[in-house]
Amino acid sequence: MNGHCLCGAVSITTPATTEMGACHCGACRRWGGGPLLTVHCGPDVGFNGTDQIAIYPSSQWAERAFCRQCGTHLYYKLLATGEYFVPAGVFDSADFELGSQIYVDKKPAYYAFANQTAMLTEQQVIAQYAPPGDDAAG
């Protein structure tokens, strides 16, 4: 799949997939003003315009990146596995299906998705991805 930031300074190439996930944690909602809707792209992601990518270490187990020029959110990356989660809106394709939601216990009451999806709580996500001793959202 191909995508790019708002200004075009950074472009992304990833393996094709159609499943999208939603994160309701406070960090994602603060970062983007609502739930983060991402496509799990695995570790095989290519970037052009890497000099325009700013990286923010958001926890001991993950980092977030954005375009230095336009501020477009480019990815959330798990450090232990190198897996990328790229916001769905970055891609030229819109053929995604919402398949999972995480941090469902942190979702505010002011929105809800009608889709039936797999759902994980904060503790379930931390148990699955965080290194020992890290209990913060990332």
Confidence (pLDDT) at 130: 66
Q: How far apart are CA 134 and CA 17, in angstroms?
A: 30
Instruction: Provide the residue-wise pLDDT of the chain in tens; the chain has 138 residues.
Output: 999 999 999 999 999 999 999 999 999 999 999 999 999 999 999 999 999 999 999 988 899 999 999 999 999 999 999 999 999 999 998 899 999 999 999 999 999 999 999 999 999 988 887 666 655 555
Confidence (pLDDT) at 68: 98
Write the DSSP string, the chain: -EEE-SSSS-EEE-----EEEEE--HHHHHHHSS-EEEEEEES--EEE-GGGEEEE--SSSEEEEEETTT--EEEEEETTT--EEEEGGGBS----EEEEEE-GGG--TT----S--EEE-HHHHHHHHSPTT--S--
Structure tokens given for 68: 């230095």
Note the pTM of the prediction, 2 decimals: 0.88
Q: How far apart are CA 1 and CA 134, in angstroms?
A: 33
Q: How far apart are CA 115 and CA 42, in angstroms?
A: 24
Confidence (pLDDT) at 125: 87
Confidence (pLDDT) at 127: 86
Q: How far apart are CA 101 and CA 117, in angstroms?
A: 7
Q: How far apart are CA 55 and CA 42, in angstroms?
A: 18
